[in-house]
Structures are given as C-alpha cells and as structure tokens.
C-alpha cells in the first residue's frame, strides 16, 4: 500500500507544483479517498527585485515571452550549451536585491562559477557553470518561476 501511494504521491505533488507555477496560485489542495495533499508556496522576495532592473533589462524579452513558446523555439536557434534548472523554483539573477548580477551576456565564466540562484522551499541553490565559456543568453528574468529542466542560460565556447 505505501509503495504504491509513495510513487503516486510524488507524481501528484510534481503535477500540483507545476499547476502552482503555471497559474501563479500560492496554494492548491487535492483530496481523494484517504489521501489529502496540500501544496503551498510562499513568495518572499517578489516585490523588491521587481523595483530595480539593471540586469533584467537585458533578459526582459525572454521573461516577457511565454515559457512554452521559448522552450519550443529553443532547439532551432541556440547553438551553445544550455544550463538547465535542476528543480522547480524561482530564479534570481543576483545574490541580494540591489546587488550586481552574477553574470551578464558576453561575460566569461569559469567551471563552477555561480550563474544564478534558484530558490526552492526557502533554500537558495546556486546554479553553476558546467564548464568554462561565454554567456551567450540569459533566458530567465529575475524572480521568475522556473520548471525542472527549463533552460536558464546558454554558454558558448
């Protein structure tokens, strides 16, 4: 019984998390038989990053485009290596509101260098460069929700 419910629960939780991100809801609850799942997200830094915009100006066109359209067009126009999100969360382009961004388009980066942060469950997770390269594109805006496997940055040699 518990093995079956564990696998179903994980899939259901992922689906509910995706619904939260797609609809910008903050809470969703599902109840079926004796199973009740409630998924919440707290938006703690939503207002501050939006008020300043030195780095997001360059990333604004990608943030304004629908995520599905950007993902569908991705394979045709990107020649570099995509750095993808390892989790569902919120992307932040700088370490703190008002500070300089980690990277900018055209910047040279070293393997292991922090490119941006993805916040998930109130934990800041640095997303690092998988290799040395040059930032060709930043595909997300500051404080933008991101999905697991979503391309965040494109690196070229």
Q: Residue 88: pLDDT above 50?
A: yes
Q: Residue 74: pLDDT above 60?
A: no
The pLDDT tens digits of the residues spanning 105-122 come to 999 999 999 999 999 999
Q: pLDDT above 90 covers what percent of the chain?
A: 46
Give the model's pLDDT for residue 26. 72
Separation of alpha carbons 33 and 75, rounded Å: 43
**Average pLDDT over the chain, rounded to an integer:** 77
Give the model's pLDDT for residue 48. 43
- pTM recorded for the entire structure: 0.52
Q: Residue 18: pLDDT above 50?
A: yes
The pLDDT tens digits of the residues spanning 120-156 come to 999 999 999 999 999 999 999 999 999 999 999 999 9
Q: Which residue has the higher pLDDT, 34 or 151?
A: 151
């Amino acid at each position: 019984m518990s093995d079956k419910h564990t696998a179903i629960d994980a899939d259901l939780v992922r689906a509910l998390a995706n619904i939260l991100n797609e609809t910008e809801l903050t809470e969703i609850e599902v109840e079926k038989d004796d199973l009740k799942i409630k998924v919440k997200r707290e938006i703690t830094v939503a207002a501050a990053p939006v008020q300043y915009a030195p780095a997001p100006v360059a990333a604004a066109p990608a943030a304004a485009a629908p995520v599905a359209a950007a993902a569908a067009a991705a394979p045709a126009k990107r020649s570099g290596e995509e750095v993808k999100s390892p989790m569902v969360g919120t992307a932040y382009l700088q370490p703190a509101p008002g500070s300089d961004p980690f990277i900018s388009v055209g910047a040279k980066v070293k393997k292991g260098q922090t490119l941006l942060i993805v916040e998930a469950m109130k934990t800041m997770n640095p997303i690092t460069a998988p290799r040395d390269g040059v930032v060709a594109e930043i595909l997300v805006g500051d404080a933008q929700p991101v999905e697991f496997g979503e391309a965040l940055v494109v690196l070229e040699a």
